[in-house]
Amino acid sequence: MIGSYCVFVPEEIVLAGNATLVGLCAGADFALEEVEKVLPRNTCALIKSTFGFKLGKVCPYLEVSDMIVGENTCDGKKKAYESLGPLVANLYVMDIPQMKSEAGRALLRSEYRRFKAAVEKLTRVAIDAGRLKRAIETVNAKRRAIHRLSRLRAADPAPISGLDALLANQVFFYDNPQRFTDSVNKICDELEKRVAEKKGVFPAKTPRILLSGCPMAVPNWKLPWIVETSGAVIVGEESCVGERGTRNLVDASGKTVEDLMEAIVERYFQVDCAIFTPNPDRLNHIEEMVKAYQADGVIHYGLQFCTPYLMESIPVVKALEEKKIPTLRIETDYSMEDVGQLKTRVEAFIEMLK
C-alpha cells in the first residue's frame, strides 16, 4: 500500500509494482491544537488536516501505508514533509520540477525512474514492459470513465449534481481501479438515459458553475454544498480532484520499459498545477472547460494561505473577466465559521448570472 498527497505520483508505476495507491489528502480539520504545535497557524487547511489525521490516527490508509510519498510541490508541503518524516516510518520524498522546460522534464524523468526503483525495492517485483503496459491500460480505463462522466455533465439540464460528481472524483483516489471504472461506467449508463429523456437534477437553464482552484479532498464539500443550495449547479471542477488531475491518457503503445516510462513522463508533465511558473496552460484549460460544459460563470476556490493558487487567482480572474466570463474569487478554509458570509456572496453571484 502506497499513500500519496499529489496527482504527480504516478499510479501506473505503483500498480505495475503490484502495489495499491491511495490518496491521503484530507478535507476536514482534526486535532487542530496538536497540529499547531508542529506547524505554523498560517498553513493551508489541506496540510494541517494531513497532520491532524496523522496525529489523531484517524486515517486507516495512512496507518497501513508501507510507503508514504511526499513531493516537493508548494513550499508548504515541501517543508511540512520535513516535519512529517519523524512521525511516520516510511516517508519517501519525490522532487517535482517548477518550470515546463527541458530541464524540468529531465528532472521528472529521473525522479520517476528513482520512484520505480523504490517501488521495486519495496514490493520485490521487477517492473517489466508487460506489467507497465497493463498498469497504464488500467489507469487509462479509469480516466476514460471519468472523462465520460465529465462529458455527460455538459447536458442541460445537468444529469448529475456537482456534489455527486465531486464524490466520484474523490473516490478516484481510494477505490480499486477496476471496480472504480465499472462503477463510474454504470453511473454513466444511467446518466445517458437521463440526458436522452432530458431529466435533470436541477431544472433546465439553472445557472451553471465551473469550480477552479485548490483540490477538495474528502470530506470537503463545503463550497459545492453552498453553490448547489443557492440556485446553481456545478458542471465541472478545474482541480486536481477533478479534471486537472484526470485529463490526458498515457500512450500505452510503447514496447519497452523506457518507451512506456517516457509516455508516463509525457502525460504527467502536462499537469498544470499552480506551482509551475509561468503556468499559462491552466488559464487555457479553464476557458476550454467553460466552453465544453457551457458554464455561465467560474468560482475560483483558494484555500487560505495557499500561495500558489491565491497568487494565480488574480491574473486568472482578470483574464476571465476580460473575456466576459463572470468570476467570483473565494478564499476560505475547512471551518464552518464563514458559511453564512460565503452563502451571501455566492447567492449574489448566482443572482447576477440569471
Our finding on whether 84 is near ligand BJ8 (CB under 6 A) is no
Q: Are strands 67-72 and 21-23 parallel, antiparallel or unpaired?
A: unpaired
Our finding on whether 35 is near ligand BJ8 (CB under 6 A) is no
- CA angle 70-270-10, nearest 5°? 40
Our finding on whether 242 is near ligand BJ8 (CB under 6 A) is no
List the one residue from 215, 224, 236, 242 that touches ligand BJ8 (CB under 6 A): 215
List the one residue from 24, 94, 136, 271 that touches ligand BJ8 (CB under 6 A): 271
Our finding on whether 188 is near ligand BJ8 (CB under 6 A) is no
List the one residue from 14, 39, 44, 252 that touches ligand BJ8 (CB under 6 A): 44
Cβ-in-10-Å burial (0-12, 13-18, 19+) of 10 comes to: buried
- Give CA–CA dist 99/101, Å, rounded: 5
Our finding on whether 308 is near ligand BJ8 (CB under 6 A) is yes
- Give CA–CA dist 338/126, Å, rounded: 51
Nearest alpha-carbon partner for 79 in 29, 110, 40 = 40
- Give CA–CA dist 351/252, Å, rounded: 47
Q: Are strands 233-238 and 208-213 parallel, antiparallel or unpaired?
A: parallel
List the one residue from 2, 7, 187, 350 that touches ligand BJ8 (CB under 6 A): 7
Cβ 231 to ligand BJ8 shortest distance, Å: 28
Q: Which is nearer to ligand BJ8, 254 or 308 (CB)?
A: 308
Selected range binding ligand BJ8 among 4-12, 26-34, 157-165, 187-195, rule: CB under 6 A? 4-12
Q: Which amino acid is at 13?
A: I
Interaction site with ligand BJ8 (CB under 6 A): 6-8, 44, 46-47, 73-74, 76-77, 214-215, 240, 271, 273, 275, 303, 306, 308-309
